[in-house]
Chain A
Amino acid sequence: MNCPDIRNLRLSDASLKAIERIKRKPGLAKALQGSMAGGQIVNIFVSPTPPAATLYSIHSADWVTFATALSGIPAIARASMQTEAYNEWIESQLRNNFAESQFWKAVYDGCLFR
């Protein structure tokens, strides 16, 4: 497991919209709520209000709980979320926005490396 500490991340409008799409995926919020105690990642993906265009710092431990939550999600919902994460990862790479690409890489697999 290679989870990044992400500090002072400002999410772009495209990322904020992708997060909103992920939050609407059936079953995802419930799985995340059931498996996480807290942390910024919960605020981002579970909060009923849209994520703010503010600075986020996500501790590596938050990604570990996120990875645990991902493993409990049905394959179709998980793949759908990973696809959103991949789409944002490639666009942030193309924009040379490495902090954001690091965030989406972690969302893609919760830092689990097959």
Chain B
Amino acid sequence: MAAFSARVFLALTLTLTSQAAFGGEDDLLLTNAVATLAETELRKAEAYLSETIDACDKKMLVIKIPLSAEIGVSRRALLLGCDYFYRRNRNACLAPAMQQYVLAKRTYLKSIPVSTLSEVTDETPSSIDTIADEWWRELRAKARYHAEVPEGERAKIERIPGLEQPFDMIHSWAASGN
């Protein structure tokens, strides 16, 4: 009886161990397959973001910014207004590609094994942080523009043709003589 019980115990142990081993292997294969798919999606999102950056750069026009005195606002008010619209328009142009990239990058980071996570996330600063920083800076520019520039001056600035589209702020400003 004791010998029989020992044989049953041994058989059960072997069965459970082998099942665990095969289960672990399946999990590993699945994890790797998901990571490969996520990496493919990330590469696609990177390519889309690169193309969108180039396309948005080409859309940026040099617009005619008047002298601040010509429209009766301070130089600082004009700078703050143009800065906000530049950021808003550029972020709007890039937004679909940026959102896809952030989602793909997050999914990729979730999909890779924990043991290799530090190798991937050692990138400093992370591209996700950089994108979030740009959206934050747009909000900061808007808040600063609204806080520092009275409504009457904002109305004058917002009548400048071209502020509603992507524009090349640095070269537009340099050409304006302000």
Query: Chain A: residues with CB nearer than 8 A to chain B?
Result: 21, 24, 26, 74-76, 78-80, 83, 86-87, 89-90, 93-94, 105, 108-109, 113-114
B168 in complex: contacting residue of A75, A76, A87, A114, CB < 8 Å: A114
Give A75 to B50 CA distance when docked, in angstroms.
5
**Interface membership of B34, Cβ < 8 A:** no
Give A79 to B58 CA distance when docked, in angstroms.
13
Q: Are B169 and A83 in contact (CB under 8 A)?
A: no
Q: Are A89 and B170 in contact (CB under 8 A)?
A: yes
Chain B contact residues, majority secondary structure: helix
Q: A86-B169, A93-B173 are in contact. List 18 more A-B contacts (CB 8 A).
A: A21-B125, A24-B125, A74-B50, A75-B53, A76-B49, A76-B53, A80-B127, A80-B130, A83-B130, A83-B134, A86-B170, A87-B137, A89-B170, A90-B79, A90-B169, A94-B79, A108-B170, A109-B170
What is the count of residue pairs linking A and B with beta-carbon distances less than 8 angstroms?
Answer: 43
Q: Are B137 and A76 in contact (CB under 8 A)?
A: no
Q: Please, which residues of chain A bring their CB within 8 A of the CB of B106? A: none
Q: List 12 A-B contacts (CB under 8 A).
A: A74-B50, A75-B53, A75-B54, A76-B46, A76-B127, A79-B53, A83-B134, A87-B137, A93-B79, A105-B174, A114-B57, A114-B168
Give A24 to B129 CA distance when docked, in angstroms.
13
Closest to B144 in A: A94
Give the total of B residues in contact with A, Cβ under 8 Å. Answer: 26
Closest to B133 in A: A83
Which residues 80-135 of B have a CB within 8 angstroms of A? 80, 83, 123-125, 127, 130, 134
**Interface membership of B171, Cβ < 8 A:** yes
Q: Please, which residues of chain A bring their CB within 8 A of the CB of B79? A: 90, 93-94
Distance in angstroms from A84 CB to nearest chain B CB is: 9
Closest to A21 in B: B125
Q: Are A26 and B123 in contact (CB under 8 A)?
A: yes
**Interface membership of B76, Cβ < 8 A:** yes
Give A2 to B83 CA distance when docked, in angstroms.
23
